[in-house]
Structure 1
Amino acid sequence: MADKPTEAHLKANRKWDDKNKERKQYINKRSVARNFIKQLATNDDLSEMLALISDRHKILKKQIDE
């Protein structure tokens, strides 16, 4: 079993969380999406996601090309 984090470590984590709210939210949402795909998604879910991913790729490519 891992050692419990020290109070200093917890304080440092809270400080990072407070300073990086958007990054933390991004990482959390990415993790949720990956876990859904790996563990719960049905064939229908995956088909829909592939279409969404393709659309997103097109949008990003268009932004880069502009």
Structure 2
Amino acid sequence: MALTQTEKNKKWRDKNKEYNRYLSYRSTSRSFIRKLATEDDLNELEQLIHERRANTNND
């Protein structure tokens, strides 16, 4: 019996839970920045990005 596309998608998501979570968070954050973020939000995000980059370089 052939799988439907929906079943194939579910099977892929089940096999790739962490990567799927990563993609979901990335999509949500991009949408927030593009559509909803205020100037204060953007300033805070810039600071968080700066801190994250500094910590990533030390790893």
Secondary structure of 1:13's counterpart equals: helix
User: Please, what is the CA RMSD of the aligned residues?
Assistant: 0.9
1:22 paired to 2:18: yes
Please say which structure displays the higher CA radius of gyration. 1
Question: Any gaps of 5 or more consecutive residues in structure 2?
Answer: none
RCO higher in structure (CA 8 A, sep ≥6): 2
With structure 1 as the length reference, what TM-score do the two structures score? 0.82
| Contiguous gaps of at least 5 residues in structure 1 | 1-6
Q: 4+ runs of 1 displaced by more than 2 Å?
A: none
Matched residue type, 2:22: Y
Residue 54 (structure 1) aligns with: 50
